[in-house]
Structure 1
Amino acid sequence: MLLVYCPYCGVERPETEFSCGGQAHIARPVDPSAATEEDWVNFLYMRSNTKGVYVERWRHTHGCGRFFNAVRNTVTDDFLSFYKAGEPMPDLEELAKEAGK
């Protein structure tokens, strides 16, 4: 079982308290009314599905209910970092180097 840290509550709990919302930092089309069908398909369905370090949105569903972001290595299933929604994404290469030690 994975242990997930909520940066809002400041607690680490089993993954069953949380919901994963998929890839984080997906930008909506700037002008939705001018967006093409391809723009919407890319926004709604296309994800990078990276093997290795990946940034995901999580929600503490059985806790505070807030969304936050987590950096996870999809190969080892280890979490490398957690941060609040709206905060900038950390340097993924640096986190991967630190985790490799």
Structure 2
Amino acid sequence: MMLIDCPECGPRNENEFHYGGQAHVAYPADGGASMSEEQWAQFLFFRDNPKGPFAERWVHAAGCRRWFNAVRDTATYEFLAVYRTGEPQPVLDRSGASA
């Protein structure tokens, strides 16, 4: 069992959390009304999928029920940083440590 460090509750078992997709996605100001169907589908379904550090959204569903962001290494599943929604993404060096 892996521990995820909730910014509000501290470290908790991974089964208390749910993945929410890529973090820092800019939503269309008009709700997508001016987009073509192809552009709207691109916005909804196409996200980055890198090998390595990746900013994601998570929710502590079985705890405080708050959303937060995390930088997770997709190759090792290691959480490199956790930060509250609205805070800037931490700058990490090449090893994945906070710079």
Fold shared by both chains (TM-score > 0.5): yes
Runs of 4+ in structure 1 deviating by more than 6 angstroms, as ranges, are: none
- Please tell me the root mean square deviation across aligned C-alpha atoms, in Å: 1.4
Aligned to 1:6: 6
The gaps in structure 2 that reach 5 residues or longer are: none
Q: Following the alignment from structure 1 to structure 2, what is the Cα–Cα distance between the partners of residues 8 and 82?
A: 11
Bigger helix fraction: 1
Superposed CA offset, 1:16-59 (max 9, x none): 01111121111112222212222211221001111111111100
> TM (normalized to structure 1)?
0.85
Between the aligned residues of both structures, percent identity stands at 50
Q: Matched residues in 1 for 2:3 and 2:19: separation?
A: 13
Tell me what 1:80 maps to.
80
Q: 2: CA distance between counterparts of 1:97 and 1:57?
A: 22
Count of residue correspondences? 96
The alignment's TM-score, normalised by the length of structure 2, stands at 0.87
Aligned residue in 1 for 2:68: 68
Q: Any unmatched runs of 5+ in structure 1?
A: none
